[in-house]
Structure 1
Amino acid sequence: MTTWPDDDVILYDGICVFCSRWVQFVIARDAAKRFRFTPIQSPYGTRLAQAFGIDPKEPDTNAVVHGGRAHLKSDAALTVLSNLPGWGWTRALFAVPKPLRNAVYSVVARNRYRIFGKYDSCFVPDAELRRRVLE
């Protein structure tokens, strides 16, 4: 895992419909407003992606910085979910072997544009969310 100075930052593909809905899902459940967000297409998101070895032009994973460490693929999703109120039960899914979790994650990631679609430009947050977006 790589370290990063900002904490509780979710890196996502801003043109991916599925990824943008993931961000909206987190926002709706993150009552403490713990998580902040950055699209991979932003200057900050691009730097973050490159630091984690993610190709910003062909991202194959989202990521979350939590506890000062970068979590990728299924670890990222489970880390975020398990830190949302009422979703702590998802910690049990860490018991599933990581290669299996990541294989499922990768199938969805590879096919996300085909299945869920893609925006022409980066998802634009409303004013409330904009305060939680790092660009």
Structure 2
Amino acid sequence: MSNQPNQAIILFDGVCHFCSGAVQFIINRDRKGYFRFASLQSTVAKSLLADQPELQNTDSIILIENGQYFTMSTAVLRIAKNLEGPWKLLFPAHIIPSIFRDLLYRYFARHRYRWFGKAQVCMIPTAEMRERFLDL
């Protein structure tokens, strides 16, 4: 399964309350439907990552765009670049070396369950959102 040139795929932690909220945030600011979604726990994600052994145990965001895989702060900035509104103004932060950006990202990711909680099962999208998900 590959994404089309005018679409990108976001793999997210489906049991993370913050991550599920972030997906809803993205959908609300992506009216053109550029992003599609699948939880990291899904068979779709496992299939998409089959030829990416270094990413198969990742438990945070992965962006697949134009055949390339982006993680951590780079994924977040590339997503922001494609959102409507002021969020695209975050993209110039990509000039900061990822080693520094990812320190902050890893700190947040390490504490996200404690701060926002963790569900027992992956989020179930609303009927309006279902078409944007690959694993339903």
TM-score range, shorter chain: 0.7 to 0.9
Pairing 1:118–2:118 present = yes
Pairing 1:5–2:16 present = no
Q: State whether residues 40 and 59 of structure 2, in contact with CA within 8 Å, keep that contact through their aligned partners in structure 1.
A: no
Whole-angstrom CA distance in 2 between matches of 1:47 and 1:74: 23
Question: How much does 1:40 deviate?
Answer: 0.9
Deviations 1:35-61 (A, max 9, x none): 1000011100123345442345xx332
Aligned counterparts, 1:1-135, within 5 A: 5-6=2-3, 7-52=7-52, 53-56=54-57, 59-86=58-85, 87-135=87-135
* Larger displacement relative to structure 2 (85-94 or 44-53): 44-53
Whole-angstrom CA distance in 1 between matches of 2:15 and 2:45: 13
Gaps of 5+ in 2: none
Gaps of 5+ in 1: none
**Aligned AA (1:120):** Q
Question: How much does 1:5 deviate?
Answer: 2.6
Q: State whether residues 13 and 59 of structure 2, in contact with CA within 8 Å, keep that contact through their aligned partners in structure 1.
A: no
* Larger displacement relative to structure 2 (28-37 or 86-95): 86-95
Runs of 4+ off more than 3 Å: 49-52
Q: State whether residues 15 and 122 of structure 1, in contact with CA within 8 Å, keep that contact through their aligned partners in structure 2.
A: yes
**Aligned AA (1:54):** L
Deviations 1:55-109 (A, max 9, x none): 45xx332111112211111010000011112222112110112101011101111
How many matched pairs?
130
TM-score (norm: length of structure 2): 0.87
Whole-angstrom CA distance in 2 between matches of 1:128 and 1:109: 28
TM-score (norm: length of structure 1): 0.88
Aligned-pair identity in percent equals 36
